[in-house]
Chain A
Amino acid sequence: GAGVSQSPSNKVTEKGKDVELRCDPISGHTALYWYRQRLGQGLEFLIYFQGNSAPDKSGLPSDRFSAERTGESVSTLTIQRTQQEDSAVYLCASSHRTSGYNEQFFGPGTRLTVL
């Protein structure tokens, strides 16, 4: 079946503009995560959605970052007033089980460049 998809694959924007990144998780996966990877760094947790529960936003770096998810489907990550330090690859992952530990399936990522 289809894996996690993300769009766009690449986004170049000017400093101060808003951007919206999209993630389509694997059908039936209840958990969805956003991570980012800045150059030379590991993956950094941003936000987690689990079903209809309130999302865990503890990883969001500032109030310019927000994310939404409709039910157990598509999620969008919005960055307002982008800054150059927001340049990174933004990765979305989804997983099936809601308890215990389980494999997360990653999308290909969106490479964001802020000029």
Chain B
Amino acid sequence: DQQVKQNSPSLSVQEGRISILNCDYTNSMFDYFLWYKKYPAEGPTFLISISSIKDKNEDGRFTVFLNKSAKHLSLHIVPSQPGDSAVYFCAASGRGSTLGRLYFGRGTQLTVWP
């Protein structure tokens, strides 16, 4: 049972434009959300996170938005750069589960073309 869903397996965006990656979750106990970026043959690297007490968190070109009522979060990258091309994983954690255990989506392959 997939508790974190990324319904778009791929996204292609032109350099300089905005990339929007989406993620939905089903477990109302989740209260902490993270985005990881993964290059081929490397482990995932942490990008940005958000607690459920917030609805927005920004770090440079990366902003994560959380809509708790819709159980939806999104990652915005502005402006997109070719080096952003990677697989992006949405992850969630929360009360009642193993402390810090992360539930991952299947990932979205982002391609930024010049």
Contact = CB atoms under 8 A, between A and B. Distances in A.
Size category, B interface: 20 to 34
B43 A50 contact: no
Interface residues of A, number: 29
B103 A99 contact: no
Given A31-B100, A33-B100, A48-B98, A104 B46 contact: yes
A40 B106 contact: yes
A68 interface: no
B64 interface: no
A105 B105 CA distance: 17
Interface string B14-35: 0000000000000000001010
Contacts of B34: 103
Interface string B78-103: 00000000000101010000111111
Contacts of A50: 99
29 contacts: A4-B43, A33-B100, A33-B101, A35-B102, A35-B104, A40-B106, A42-B2, A42-B4, A42-B6, A42-B104, A42-B106, A43-B89, A43-B102, A45-B98, A45-B101, A45-B103, A48-B99, A48-B100, A50-B99, A56-B101, A93-B43, A99-B99, A101-B100, A103-B46, A104-B46, A104-B102, A106-B43, A106-B44, A109-B43
